[in-house]
Chain A
Amino acid sequence: MAQRILILGGGTGGTLVANRLRHRFPPAQAEITVVDQDDAHVYQPGLLFVPFGLARAEDIVRPRGRQLDSTIEVVISPIDRVDIETNRVHLANEVILDYDVLVVATGAVLVPEETEGLLGTGWMKTAFTFYNLEGASGLADALAAFDGGRLVVNVVDMPIKCPVAPLEFCFLADWYFRERGIRDRVELIYATPLDGAFTKPAAAKALAGLLEEKGVELVTEFNTGEVDEEAGKLVAYDGREVAFDLAVVVPLHGGAPYVNRSPGLGDELNFVPTDDHTLQSRVRPNIFVIGDAANVPASKAGSVTHFEGEVVVENVARFMKGEALDASYDGHANCFIETGFHKALLIDFNYETEPLPGHFPSRVGVPLLQESRLNHLGKLMFQWFYWHVLLPGRDIPGIGSAMPLAGKKKEGVAP
């Protein structure tokens, strides 16, 4: 009898795992169902470009079902809760789905309501986020109308999706106001809860250098307690204030709300406790987790989800055959960082190895931790790869799940 694989979430992780599992198991062996609350698959890396008029909202959204193999069932409904005791998922439309294996791929959600004042009178007027379509589009209009003053980019607290995106926003804002010829009338400020521009030392140094070069003021260890939109200022818990005319805020993130309604499934922030290497949940052996929904100490980023995919699929297959899991995810992440003026830099790292300079994926390749036009082209080309290679579950030649070390320069050591 066919086993029932139920995948919650039809975004990056849910889609690529569903398609890869279908390559492994024909319909006679596995019924695969994907549930999502809506039919809009957003290419999230594209959100960064919308505020600057470099992409339009409608260009980065496609229907979910069309990204999935035709033998995969798609159910559009919000999820009410998962009952991990009876292996059942209750949907908001009162349908109940039974599963043999569950894959949680519902990502992270924004919780701006957890920051005092953020959803106040200035929300979507003087305070925006670019982390969803509505905010990114609204911000495009606000930036077009902005003719001078203090633009503050603020990360409220970690974890957030794509931790480099707020830095990229700063770099692109510098480019954008230079192009408009009003850069001298705009103050750019980046306020972060971290003690540097980024978490990992080598990358933090390179990125702090770029901020300085582009005239962006860096405010560190700023833990936003309140956004006072009437007065136009961010107030930190320690009393420090940063004034703004326009605030671009990355709100707090959490797991999907149904996780909170599912006893035993999630942690305090509604992320699912997950083994760092096997990606099996720690709550039940027949529940696996991919992407932002997991609590693993990797970036919440599409590249992480992509590299996790191979491991999740292998381990789901082993679990179904009653074999021991041994496929191992190493925390591999890989991000193009857009730096403006048609350039980008690339970082590549995992749980153990911080982003290092050198070349990717081997000694011959694109430069790491260094601005180049080639990396910018790579970033632009990636959208095509996303829809046509990554989501259908095809392999990208030469780029596997495990982080490559060839081509990377350790300090003082030639590659």
Chain B
Amino acid sequence: MTSTTIAGHAVEVNAEGFFDEPGQWSEDMVPELARAEGIDPLSDRHWQVIRFMRAEYEAKGTGPTVRVLGKTSGVSVKELYQLFPKGPAKVAAKIAGIPKPRGCI
């Protein structure tokens, strides 16, 4: 666990940069979090995915996988990779301040 400051707020993140406490997240942190992932500027489509991730997490307690995002977010898997080239579910989860999506095994 590491303490860091994002958009003037003190937050706790884990070794991979995911929020330890999703409750510490607020929307004004999104541009700075996105820049750290190399995404600048943020388009409406980025925002659509980030808000969707957040809502899914709040409803279900876990972030969706890329495949589920492609089926439910209104953004295709292909476009998701264009928006978040380094891995849509992981990167969008990090920017949305939620834990890394639970991998299936």
Whether chain B is bound by chain A comes out as: yes
Chain A interface (Cβ < 8 Å from any Cβ of B)? 157-159, 163, 194, 198-200, 221, 223, 225, 237-238, 252, 268-269, 297-299
Question: At the interface, yes or no: B59 with Cβ under 8 Å from chain A?
Answer: no
Counting chain A CB atoms within 10 Å of each CB, the highest count among B67, B72, B81, B85 belongs to B67
Minimum C-beta distance from A257 to chain B (A): 15
| Given A223-B66, A223-B81: A268 and B105 interface contact (C-beta under 8 Å) | no
The CA-CA distance from A192 to B2 in the complex, in Å, is 31
Q: Are B103 and A158 in contact (CB under 8 A)?
A: yes
Minimum C-beta distance from A165 to chain B (A): 13
Interface of A is mostly: loop
**Residues in chain A near residue B77, CB distance under 8 A:** 225, 237
| Given A223-B81, A237-B81: A269 and B67 interface contact (C-beta under 8 Å) | yes
**Residues in chain A near residue B78, CB distance under 8 A:** 225, 237
Q: Are A159 and B81 in contact (CB under 8 A)?
A: no
The CA-CA distance from A200 to B67 in the complex, in Å, is 21
Q: Smallest CB-CB separation from A159: which chain B residue?
A: B104
- Chain B residues 61-80 with CB under 8 Å of chain A are 64-68, 71-72, 77-78, 80
The CA-CA distance from A198 to B103 in the complex, in Å, is 11
Q: Smallest CB-CB separation from A198: which chain B residue?
A: B105
Minimum C-beta distance from A296 to chain B (A): 10
- Chain B residues 91-105 with CB under 8 Å of chain A are 102-105
Q: Are A221 and B87 in contact (CB under 8 A)?
A: yes
**Residues in chain B near residue A200, CB distance under 8 A:** 105
**Residues in chain A near residue B72, CB distance under 8 A:** 268
Minimum C-beta distance from B3 to chain A (A): 26
Q: Are B104 and A297 in contact (CB under 8 A)?
A: yes
**Residues in chain B near residue A269, CB distance under 8 A:** 67-68, 71
The CA-CA distance from A298 to B102 in the complex, in Å, is 11
A-B contact pairs, 9 of them (CB 8 A): A157-B65, A157-B66, A157-B67, A158-B103, A159-B104, A159-B105, A199-B105, A223-B87, A268-B71
